[in-house]
Amino acid sequence: MRRRSAAALAALTTLTAALATGCGSDDEPDPLRGQQWAIDALKLPDAWGTAKGEDTVIAVVDSGVDPGHPDLKGRLVDGYDFVDGDDDPKDLNGHGTHVAGIAAAHTDNGVGIAGGARGARIMPVRVLGADGSGSDANITKGIVWAAQNGADVINLSLGESGLMARLLKGGVLNDAISVANGKGAVVVAAAGNDSTLLQPYEVDTPVLVVNAADRNGQPAGFTNFGARDAVAAPGVDILSTLPTYTAKETLKNTTGYGKLSGTSMASPYVSAVAALLHQQGLSPAEIMRTIRDTAVNPANDLKLGLGNVDASAAVQAAGKATAGEK
């Protein structure tokens, strides 16, 4: 078992200031939307005019999800808890709930925030315990189970739980990711938060690794980099959902919302973009290629990989590709 070190490495600090459910005027579609700088940086509003991720399931293989959260309730499909061995993947840590909200929180519902793939569904797969630790066996099972049970996109925001070290050793997770891809799922993984240059997975593993960028489009100080064909997405001061009850990340804040930083936050934004492309009919290989081909890195900054993800450009490229097939 490995424990997450993200609290120190990526400043995963819950902010408690004025983040209560539904705060803001009653006529605002999502009262906290103005604090979500990442949505605009990714050009998601432009992309939503074409695709919202309808008929797409994003598996959050993580610490579970708060099933009763007002911005997530009704957006969940059946999941599984590999920690306790039951079908109740309730989040006792907070990390998974935050990731889920970034990917696909309710949008235009008069409550809280907007999700990246506003039409997608979330499949909660709990592989990390209340303390944020998880075993290789459970993570591997969770990835394969998600693919076998209908996940179209699988998000692995596990850089803080030892995932990178396991992949470097060429462990079973590489095989699990390959199995999931073979069943039609796009696997998106956080690069990790050690400010380290590394190749975190076997070269032939079909995974889209995500580095973190700040609001200026520059690499986050904590982000790992160097993974082959990695991309970057916003990962600093990211506002999202948190459990409405006391958990590890909510000891001082049970408003249901908070800001965290890390590649764990960047990854679900890319998973959201993948969901938009899935709705457009692209295969896993086409989805990863389109996201990579439309990423922007004018200064060729190594820490950004191929560049910052552009959801609008990706959706436009996907539309042209599918139109060309007809």
Catalytic residue among 30, 62, 152, 194: 62
DSSP 229: T
**Run of H or E residues at 190:** strand 186-190
How far is Cα 25 from Cα 288, in angstroms, rounded to an integer? 39
Cβ(267)–Cβ(115) below 8 Å? no
Catalytic residue among 161, 264, 267, 312: 264
Cβ(193)–Cβ(263) below 8 Å? yes
User: Looking at the chain, how many residues does it have?
Assistant: 326
Catalytic residue among 71, 81, 95, 157: 95
HSE, CB side, 13 Å, CA atoms: give it for residue 288.
21
| Nearest Cα to Cα of residue 37 among 220, 190, 238, 232 | 238
Q: How far is CA 52 from CA 143, 273, 274, 275, in A?
A: 24, 9, 10, 8
Contacts of 120 (CB under 8 A, 6+ apart): 52, 53, 54, 56, 57, 58, 103, 104, 153, 272, 275
Is 264 an annotated catalytic residue?
yes
Burial category of 74 from C-beta neighbours within 10 Å (exposed 0-12, middle 13-18, buried 19 and up): exposed
Buried/exposed 242-257: b ≥16 CB within 10 Å, e otherwise? bbbeebbbbeebebbb
Is 204 an annotated catalytic residue?
no
How far is Cα 178 from Cα 236, in angstroms, rounded to an integer? 30
Is 106 an annotated catalytic residue?
no
Terminal C-alpha separation, the chain: 50
Known catalytic residues are 62, 95, 264
